[in-house]
Structure 1
Amino acid sequence: MWEELTKAALEILTALSKSLEATTGIESDSIFWIKLATVVLGLCAASFSTFYWGRKILRDKIQQVLVDPEAFWRKPPTKAVAKQYLARQAHSLPIITIANYKGGVGKSMIAANLAAYFDIVGLRVLLIDYDYQGSLTDIVPYADPEKMTFSAHEILKGDKSDRHVTEPHRLGKSYQRTAIHPAEATLSRIDSHLIYQWLTGGRTDDIRFNTQAYLASAAVRAKYDIVIIDTPPRICAATANALCAATHVLVPTILDTVSSRAVLRSVQMFIDFREKLGLSFKMLGIVPSRVTNSRTYSNRESKALEYLNEELASRFGKIPNPITGAREPVIALAGLPICNRVALLHIDGDDPGIFKETGGDPVIRAMFARLGNHVLEQIGLIRKPATEVVPDADIRTTPTVINFGVRAGASAG
C-alpha cells in the first residue's frame, strides 16, 4: 500500500515541478532538491504512520488476550493448518484431555488414577502435565525426579529433538507401561513467551497445534496406546494445545451450585472452541468428582445433578460435531462418581488411591475401574461391558476385555 502511495506522490510532484518550472522559470536543480525534500518528508511520515499503526495493532492484540482470551484463542486456523490437523487426527492415538475452567475439581487426581488403571489393564499410557501448579507431576511417583529429560513445556514450544522425543519420565517399578512429561516451574513463563512471539510475528506457525504435531509423531505412536493431558483452569496456550490435540474431552466437576454453573460455562467454551477451529474431539461427559459417598448422592449433590442434567439437555442435547456431523449430547456420568476420599488421600500426602503396590483401597480401585472401563469403551479400546452402568452410583464392576487389536496397526507407527 505504501509503495503505491509513494509512487502516486512522486507522479504528482513530478507534474507539479514541471508546471512550476514552466511558469516560474526556477532552475531544474532547485526543483530536484524540492522534490527530494518532499519525498524524504513523505517517507518519514509514512514510516511514522506505519510504526504508529503497527504498535496500535499490537496493543489491540495484547488487549484482546487480556480482556477476551477466549476470542483470541478460538480464532480460526488457516486452511493449510486445518488440513494438516485433519490429516493427523485421522491416525491419532486416543488422546483424553481432562479440562474444566474451574480449579479444585479433581482434574489431576482423575488423570493420575485413570492412568494407573489403564496401565493395570495393559495399556501403554503417556501423561502430559500442562497445569502450571504441577499437581499431576506431584501426585504420580515417577522415577528420577531430579533428572529432567523432556518436560511438558518443551512440547508446548514445539521442540522437535529426536533425542528426547521418546524419553518422558517412567513411573517406577509398579507402572512400567506409563510415563509422564512433567510440569516445570517455567511452564507459565513459556506460555506467556509463546503468546508474545505469536503476536509480534516471531513465530509464523500456529502454536495451538504444537502438541498435536508431537503426539502424531511415529516415535510416540509406536510407544503408547493412549494419552492423558491435564490442563490448567483457564484458557491459555497450554489449554488450547490440549484441546487441539484431543480426540476426547472429559470434564470433572463438584456437585454444588457454584461448580455446576461453572462447568456449564466451561462446556460452552469447549464447544465454541471446537466449532470455531473446526476440531473433531468428542465430549466424554461430566464426571461427578469429590462426592461425599461412593454409593449414594447427598441431597445437595442430587439437586445439583438434577440441575446439571436439565441444563445439559437443553443447551447441548443436539449440537453436531463440526467434522463428523454426528449429534453428540453432553451428559453427566451420574453412575460414575469419584468420592472425596481420593482427594483426602492426596491432601494427606499419600499416593493416589490406585497407585498402591500392595492392593490399595478397594473402593477407589472399583470407582476408577468403572470410570476407566466406560472411557475405554467410548474410545473403542474395550468391548462393551456385560452390564450397563447403574444410576445409583453402585461400585460393582464387571470383567472387561481389552481389545488390543484395535490399536495394533496404529501402535506400530
Structure 2
Amino acid sequence: MTASGYDQAARLAATQRVVALVNDKGGVGKTTLAANLAGQVAAAGYRVLLIDLNRQGNLADDLGYRDRAGVDDQGAGLLGALLMGTPLTPVLGVRPNLAVVPGGVRLTDLTPLMVARVQAGGRAAFLALADALVPLTGQYDLIVVDSPPENVMLVDLALAAARWVLMPTRSDSGGLVGMRLVAERFNLAREINPSLGLLGVVLFGTLASARAIHAEVRADVAAAFGGGFDPMLKATIRYSERYAREGRKLGRLAHELEVDAANQPAWWQALRNGDAPGRRLPATVASVSADFRQVAAEVLDALATQEQPA
C-alpha cells in the first residue's frame, strides 16, 4: 500500500473496465453519451456503474432521478469517499443492472480541497477516485465516469481512475480545442496512471452525410494524439434538438424513448378515441438510439479486443 491508499496492482484490477468521458469543452455531449452508453450496456444485461463527477449533476436529469429521495444525494457520498475515505456506495434501482454515484452541488467544495491536497502531497492525490473503486473490484462489467468541462482538478481525478478515455467532440473549433487540451492532460495523467489508454473519439451532434467534415475531424484527432493510429469511432451521434429536449425533460434515454415512440397511438387514433393527442415523441429518436447503440457496440468490441492476450 502507498500513502494514497492502494498499490498499483490493486488499482489496475479495480479500474480495468473504467471508461472516463472527457473533453475540456462543455456542450460536446459528454453527459448525454455517458448516460446512453451506460444505459444501453445495462439494458443488454451487463452490470454497469455510472459515476457523476459534475457539480451540475445533469445525469440526474438524463436518468430521471433529480431530487429523488434515497437516490439524489447531490454528490455527498462521492465527496465523502474522495476526501475522507468513506466507502463508495452506489445507488441501485435507477435502471435494471445500472447503479449510479450521483454528482451535484456538494461537489462544489471538491476542487479547492483537491488543490490543497495536491499542493501538500503531489499528484498522487488524484488517485483518490481509483482508491475508492478498489473495494468494488469485480462487481461491475463496465464503469463509466462523466467528467465536468473546464475543471482540471476533477478531470485529473477521472483520468487517474480510468483505464480508458472515450472523448466526445463536435466538429467546431471549440470542441477540437477542448480535445487538444485533454490530450495534454492525458499525457500528464500517465505519470501516475501508466495504464491509461485512449479507447476512441466520438463525433457528436453531426449529420451522417457530412463525410468531408468527418474526414477533417479525423485528421485533427489523429494529430492531437500523436498520429500513428486512427482513434475515431466509426459511429457518430447525429444532431437531434428534439431528442435533447425531450430526453432530459422526461428523464428517458434514447432507446427508452424509441420504445415509447413506437408504442404511442397514431395521432388519428387518439382523436378517434376522444383523447387529446398531446405532445408526441418524434420518430427520429429511433435513429439517435441506433447511433448510441452502435457506439456501445464499438466500445464493448474495443474493450474485448484490448483485453485479449497479446
Provide the C-alpha distance between the structure 2 equivalents of 1:80 and 1:380, rounded to a whole number of angstroms: 33
**1:193 aligns to 2:109 (yes or no):** no
Shift of 1:215: 1.2
Aligned twin of 1:365: 289
**Cα distance 1:209–1:269, how it changes in 2: closer, same or farther (>3 A)?**
closer
* Range 120-129 or range 132-141, more displaced: 132-141
1:310 to 2:219 alignment: yes
Change in Cα spacing, 1:235 to 1:99, as seen in structure 2 (3 Å) is: same
Aligned-pair distance for 1:268?
3.2
Distance 1:204 1:366, change over 3 A: closer
TM superposition shift of 1:346: 3.0
Query: Match of 2:200?
Result: 285
How far apart are 1:282 and its partner, in Å? 1.4
Gaps in structure 2 of 5+ consecutive residues: 262-284
- 1:339 corresponds, among 238, 242, 246, to 238
Q: Which residue is 1:39 aligned to?
A: none
Q: 1:132 to 1:255 in 2, by over 3 A?
A: same
Q: Determine the structure 2 residue equivalent to 1:96.
A: 19
Asked if 1:353 is matched to 2:254, the reply is: yes
Q: What does 1:55-134 align with in structure 2 at a 5 Å threshold? A: 84-90=7-13, 92-134=15-57
- Could you list the per-position Cα deviations for residues 122-161 of structure 1 after superposition, in whole angstroms to 9, with x for gaps in the alignment? 1111111001221122211249722256633233324324
Q: Distance in 1 between matches of 2:223 and 2:124?
A: 34
Q: Look up the match of 1:216.
A: 134
Matched, 1:184 2:93: no
Query: Deviations for 1:379-398, whole angstroms, at most 9, x for unmatched residues?
Result: 118999xxxxxxxxxxxxxx
SS of match in other structure, 2:167 = strand
Which residue of the partner structure matches residue 268 of structure 2? none
In 2, distance between residues paired with 1:226 and 1:330? 24
Mapped to 2, the partners of 1:135 and 1:364 lie a distance apart of: 19
For residue 78 of structure 2, what is the aligned residue in structure 1?
Answer: 152
C-alpha separation between the residues in 2 aligned to 1:118 and 1:93? 17
Offset, 1:272: 3.5
TM-score normalized by structure 1?
0.60
Q: Which moved more, 1:94-103 or 1:362-371?
A: 362-371
Residue number in structure 2 paired with 1:16: none
SS in 2 for 1:277: coil
1:380 maps to what in 2? 304
SS state at 2:231 partner: coil
Query: TM-score, normalization: structure 2?
Result: 0.78
Following TM superposition, by how much is the alpha carbon of 1:317 offset from its aligned partner in structure 2, in angstroms? 4.4
Contact 2:91–2:100 under 8 Å retained in 1: yes
Question: C-alpha deviations, 1:158-194, integer Å up to 9, x for none?
Answer: 4324xxx4442431xxx22101111121202132123
Measure the CA separation in 1 of the matches of 2:5 and 2:67: 39
Deviations 1:290-339 (A, max 9, x none): 11x3x3227xxx33x333333344453457xxxxxxxxx35222x21011
Distance 1:340 1:284 in 2: 23
The 2-side partners of 1:243 and 1:363 are apart by 31
Structure 1 residue 345 displacement after superposition: 2.2
After TM superposition, list the pairs within 5 Å mapping 1:151-300 onto structure 2. 151-161=77-87, 165-171=88-94, 175-199=95-119, 201=120, 206-217=124-135, 220-274=136-190, 276-291=191-206, 293=207, 295-297=208-210
The percent identity for this pair of structures is 23
> Are the equivalent residues in 1 in contact too, given 2:4–2:125 (CA < 8 A)?
no
Could you list the per-position Cα deviations for residues 355-407 of structure 1 after superposition, in whole angstroms to 9, with x for gaps in the alignment? 349455321221111110110011118999xxxxxxxxxxxxxxxxxxxxx9x
Aligned-pair CA distance for 1:102: 0.5
Q: How far 1:205 moved relative to its partner?
A: 9.7
CA gap 1:257/1:239 in 2 versus in 1, 3 angstroms: closer
Compare CA radii of gyration and give the structure with the larger one.
Answer: 1
Other structure's SS at 2:15 match: coil
Q: Deviations over 1:195-238 (max 9, x none)?
A: 23553x4x799431111111121xx2343221000001124332
User: Tell me, what secondary structure is at the counterpart of 2:130?
Assistant: helix
- C-alpha change, 1:105 and 1:139, in structure 2 (3 Å) is same
SS at match of 2:210: coil
TM-superposed CA distance for 1:255, in Å, is: 1.1
CA distance in 1, matches of 2:23, 2:224: 17
Over 3 Å counting, the alpha-carbon distance change for 1:281 and 1:106 in structure 2 is: same
User: What residue identity is the alignment partner of 2:104?
Assistant: E
Residue 383 and residue 316 in structure 1: after superposition, are their counterparts in 2 closer, same or farther (change >3 A)? closer
| Corresponding pairs, count | 280
